[in-house]
Amino acid sequence: MFSLGFHHFYTRLENNFKDNWHTDYLHSHNRQQLFKQLVQDWKSYFNSIEDYNNNPSKYQGQPRPPKFKYLDNNPSEVIFTNLATLTFKDNTENYIINGKPIKSKNKYFNQEINRLQSIRMKQTGSKKFKDTKQIKKLRTKRRNYVFDYLHKASRKIVNLAKKHNVSKIVIGDLKEIKQGMDYNKSFVQVPIQRLKDLIEYKAKLEGIEVNIINEAYTSGCSAIDLEKLNKDNYNKSRRVERGLFESNFGLTINADVNGSLNIMRKFLDKCIPELINRARDNGVVNPPKRLRVA
């Protein structure tokens, strides 16, 4: 199989999985790196086998082939209700783009697909997954719904930026957002990286600059207290209940708004967004407006 060489085998993988439904939920860069890693792992295995046959004394046992690595299932469950959170430098407006509809739709499609898979497996007497035209049709519907929702959400975000005369949009880096989680289906099947790409594309058409910044420590440091975004101040236990973050002097703020403000602070360095100034003066933060996509 590897006599074709690295490039040829990689190309075969790309072609064979091009129409596979799983690829709809992977960013192209992630998919390419996955294939490259797969090819490299198998090449290393066959090289090790060859070396083992020539020099068995170097090894404690015969090299084993690569296999699937099961991920840790302990991390907290992701409840995907907020698709995006928006805050602004020069005013106190803050918004949340509702993610509940997309979560609900994903749940419905997953239940239907699981039901049809179970029926098909019983019909064939097989313990392995059996694909059908009906299941493929459901996956296509799910993909189309998700992509349409993300298009509308990105348009709403860019329109809000225009409304508030925004010249720059700052987005937290989303590349690692799905790692270290329990792979809740409602979250993982939303191609969140695609939302970033759509915002970037539509903002560019409107002459708005988009910047991507590392999210490290933004969710566990207090924006209201103007804490430095570092490991020493990082403390997610200040989430007093789901969705709320408590400052050091007892002021509660939406946790996603807190993170959004910290991303802005990180990008603008010494800038203090108006919402923080108002909260420190008045001792209160208005809750974010939850916006429906359609």
Tell me whether residue 19 is in a domain: yes
Q: Does residue 157 form part of some domain?
A: yes
202 and 139, same structural domain? Answer: yes
Does residue 63 fall inside a structural domain? no
Cβ proximity of 256 and 220 under 8 Å: no
- Nearest alpha-carbon partner for 61 in 78, 48, 72, 79: 48
27 pLDDT band, cuts 50/70/90, is low
Q: What is the pLDDT of residue 261?
A: 95
**Rounded to whole angstroms, how far apart are CA atoms 203 and 185?**
29
Task: Specify whether 111 is located in the same domain as 189.
Answer: yes
Q: Is residue 43 part of a domain?
A: yes
Cβ(132)–Cβ(124) below 8 Å = no
Distance CA 188, CA 34 (A): 16
Please say whether the beta carbons of 238 and 223 come within 8 A. no
Residue 197: the pLDDT is: 92
pLDDT tens track for 270-289: 889 999 999 999 888 889 99
For residues 265 and 249, state if they share a domain.
yes
Residue 87 maps to a domain: no
In sequence order, the 6+-apart residues with CB closer than 8 A to the CB of 108 are none
Residues 202 and 253 in one domain: no
Residues 181 and 232 grouped into a single domain: no
Average pLDDT of the residues in 131-151: 89
User: Do 146 and 184 have their domain in common?
Assistant: yes
CB neighbourhood size of 208 (10 A): 17
Same domain, 38 and 105: no
Q: Which amino acid is at 185?
A: K
Q: For residue 220, what pLDDT band results from cuts at 50, 70 and 90?
A: very high
- Across residues 100-123, what is the average pLDDT? 87
**Range from 37-51, 76-90, 208-222 carrying the lowest mean pLDDT:** 76-90
pLDDT at 70: 46
Q: Is residue 78 part of a domain?
A: no
**Do the domain assignments include residue 89?**
no
Q: Which of 219, 288, 281, 285 is nearest to 251 (CA)?
A: 285
Count up the domains in the chain and report the number. 3
Residue 73 lies in a domain: no
Residue 19 pLDDT level (bands cut at 50, 70, 90): low
State the DSSP H helix or E strand holding residue 144, giving kind and residue range, or none if neither.
Answer: helix 133-163
Per-residue pLDDT, 186: 46
Using one digit for the tens of pLDDT, what is the confidence trace for 221-237? 999 999 999 999 998 88
- Residue-range definition of the domain harbouring residue 231: 214-288
Gyration radius of the chain over CA positions: 24
The model's confidence at residue 47, banded by pLDDT at 50, 70 and 90, is confident
Q: Tell me: do 129 and 184 sit in the same domain.
A: yes
Same domain, 261 and 276: yes
**Lookup: tokens for 138:** 């459901």
Lowest mean pLDDT among 1-15, 92-106, 120-134: 1-15
Pick the closest to residue 263 from 197, 168, 163 (CA basis): 168
- At residue 49, does pLDDT exceed 70? yes
Nearest to 159 by CA among 104, 212, 95: 95
pLDDT of residue 181: 44
Same domain for 41 and 104?
Answer: no
- Spatial separation of the C-alpha atoms in residues 95 and 287, rounded to whole Å: 9
For residues 125 and 202, membership in a common domain is answered with yes
Cα(158)–Cα(264) distance, rounded to whole angstroms? 17
Both 102 and 199 in one domain: the answer is yes
Residue 249 DSSP class:
T
